[in-house]
Amino acid sequence: MKEKKKWLWILVALAVCVGGGFAVRSLTAVTYAEGYLFAADDRLLHARVIPGKEEVAVELEEAKIESKDGLPAVIIEYHQYKGTVDGNSLLLQTKEGEKFAATVDQETLVFQQTWLEEYGPETRLLAVQAADYRQKMEELNRRARAEAEEIQKQIAEQKAQERAALDKQVKQFERLEADIREHIDYIADYQVAEEQAAYEQHLADLQALHQEITAMGPKAGLSATETALAESLASSMNMLMDGVHTLDDKVGKKAKALAGIIDTLQDDMEQAQALWEQLKETHLDVGKRGEAFAETLKAGTAALAEARKNAAAADKMLKTYRKQAEDTYKQATAGLAP
């Protein structure tokens, strides 16, 4: 009979222990929850109150979303405080020796002073079972992963945009380089040396014919043969003036084309230089590429100087040579007018 009662009490004791899985009874008869939890959007603070023979311990597990390698991640820190208990009151101490008070019962754990950054006085942790805490941790990890994935997506999109912008700049730079080389070639097609030589020859021929006509004297004193010769000379001068007008048209077109090429070439070179300053930091072969571009700029600068020289020569022909030719023709033929 005594043996049966002994086993009965053992079973009752086991039932109490198993049935009280949510709570732990301290030596002071205060019942503690299995755990306590403070939950916010970006953090969890879980505490366990562990009674001892002479003191009480509080173990904290702080899980919070922070930046790690530039991405949100759950960072877990552990803290342990020891102290004394008096009923529901705890007097705890940090490793550094700082003391702070708390109250505890089966439903709540309340820290009455600031003991960790970001947790003010009267921070309240509510009783929680281990399964519920694990679920909260899973939710916090999912939130961190979702935030990290969103940031990674934004970073990927930004990099894609940057690559697209860089590709666009590279293509623009290559197009400008090609345009520069093309305009350098164009300038070679707009030399005016031949036209200048032809102009000067026409001026010399006009001057020579003018002198012949002048040497013959006034028309009134000329014989019929001399008059016919003078008129033939004047006709030759007229043909030369037709050549001058043809040269005017040709040189005028070249001058107009040169003006456009000079403006375009100079603008292309300035744009290409500005783009190169941006691209050279990212170009994999900046040395060779830079040397090639420097050669292009050098050739472009020389071509601009040549183009301006030709443009000035064309302007002189149109303004000076043409007037000289017209004046010479008028003086020579004035006395031959009927």
SS3 assignment, position 95? coil
Residue 35 phi, psi (nearest 5): -165, 165
CA distance 85 to 183: 91
pLDDT of residue 109: 95
Q: Which amino acid is at 114?
A: T
Which residues share a beta bridge with 90?
85, 102
Distance CA 125, CA 271 (A): 64
Please tell me the pTM assigned to this model: 0.58
What the block records as the tokens of 166 is 């860089």
Higher-scoring residue by pLDDT: 181, 285: 181
Residue 43 has pLDDT above 50, yes or no: yes
Beta strands at 43-51 and 99-104: parallel, antiparallel or unpaired: unpaired
Cite the beta strand spans of 113-257 per DSSP E.
123-127
pLDDT at site 320: 85
pLDDT, tens digit, 9 for 90 and up, residues 320-338: 888 888 888 888 877 665 5
Report the SS3 class of residue 48: strand
Confirm if 105 and 95 have CB atoms less than 8 A apart: no
**What's the pLDDT band for 20 if we cut at 50, 70, 90?**
very low
Taking a C-beta distance cutoff of 8 angstroms, is the pair 74, 84 a contact? no
